[in-house]
Chains A and B, each alone.
Chain A
Amino acid sequence: METTDNVTMCQYYSIEAGNFTLAGEAAGQIKNNLKQLGIDAALVKKVAIASYEAEMNLVIHSNGGRLIFKINPKVITIIAQDDGPGIKDIELAMKEGYSTAPDTARELGFGAGMGLPNMKRCADRFVIRSEEGKGTEVELSFNLS
């Protein structure tokens, strides 16, 4: 993670588990921030997609967590952290099409099993750490230069 010295902006969004009505708000605000900062449209789109997928995973799969957005002149960083339940088999979770989303989420169009692969594809750097019973952290970086 970069040092905090040159962070030009840092924002923190608390994400509630199971709240599908508010889902996507944090990603929307992150996107608006980037547009206001004049970031290139193609990059804004990538960050928006990845943030949305990260936010939705907190809503659907976690007990609640937070989405952190940071930007400095070199890199945009998105961090999704939660307080459990954690992922047992990360390799399996990364497989396109694999999903443990409940029927209630699937009925709304979630659970394609493409969220983590979408994040990885959009970001320049993708790191996922998880411990069963503890929680999950996904860190995404997007190069600005």
Chain B
Amino acid sequence: MIVEQIVKELSLKVLTGRDHLKREISSVYCGDLLSRVMAKSSKSSLWITIQTHVNIVAVATLLEMACIMIPEDIAVDEKTLAKAEEEHVVILSSPLSAYTLSGRLYSFGIFSE
């Protein structure tokens, strides 16, 4: 599935990276400890996290993730949004919880590694 389809299916807000929604998603990773994410996540993944600090952009860029998904309408720092635009990182947002989002994504047939 590509990012755009997920945005549609889950009625997500696109906070950054509007021009990069054709990226293919190969897996999903959910987690908030950055070292764990660095170790376990991978290229083209969709990453669900409640972290909103600018460093999530560095993690997504280094791993070449497809997108970041922020649950529960958590506000994202201005600095993070600016940096994400600069680095072509897609950040999506939803009022749903990480649990519900994960469940929906699983039902679409996207699994973790």
Measured CB to CB, the residues of A under 8 A from B are: 20-21, 23-25, 27-28, 31, 41, 45, 48-49, 52-53, 56, 108-115, 118, 121
Q: Per-position contact with A for B53-64: 1 when CB-CB < 8 Å, else 0? A: 111111101110
In the assembled complex, the Cα of A66 lies from the Cα of B96 at a distance in Å of 42
Q: In whole angstroms, what is the CA distance A73 to B38 when docked?
A: 27
B38→A49 contact, CB < 8 A: yes
| Residue ranges of B at the interface with A (Cβ–Cβ < 8 Å) | 32-39, 42-43, 49, 51, 53-59, 61-63, 79
* B34 CB contact (under 8 Å) in A27, A45, A110, A121: A110
Determine the chain B residues whose CB is within 8 A of the CB of A109 once the complex forms: 32-34, 37, 49, 51, 53, 55-56
Q: Which single residue of chain B is at the shortest CB-CB distance from A118?
A: B39
The 9 closest A-B pairs by CB, nearest first: A24-B58, A114-B35, A112-B35, A112-B33, A109-B34, A109-B51, A48-B62, A108-B53, A49-B38
Which one of A52, A108, A111 contacts B38 once the chains associate, using CB atoms below 8 Å? A52
A25-B58, A109-B51, A112-B33 known, 6 other contacts, Cβ within 8 Å = A49-B39, A108-B55, A109-B55, A110-B55, A113-B35, A118-B38
Q: Which residues of A contact B49 (CB under 8 A)?
A: 109
Nearest Cβ in chain A — how far from B29, in angstroms? 13
Main secondary structure, interface of A, reads helix
On whether the beta carbons of B35 and A20 are closer than 8 Å, the reply is: no
Chain B, residue nearest A50 (CB): B38
- Across the interface, B63 reaches (CB within 8 A) one of A45, A113, A115, namely A45
The residues of B that contact A113 with a CB separation of less than 8 Å are 35
Q: A20-B55, A21-B54, A21-B79 are in contact. Are A28 and B62 (CB under 8 A)?
A: yes
Q: How far is the CB of A98 from chain B (nearest CB, A)?
A: 12
Bound complex: CA A115 to CA B38 (Å): 9
Q: How far, in angstroms, from A49 to B58 measured CA to CA in the complex?
A: 11
A109 to B51 alpha-carbon distance, docked (Å): 7
Asked whether A27 lies within 8 Å of B58 as measured between CB atoms, the reply is: yes
Q: Which residues of A contact B63 (CB under 8 A)?
A: 45, 48-49
Please, which residues of chain A bring their CB within 8 A of the CB of B56? 109
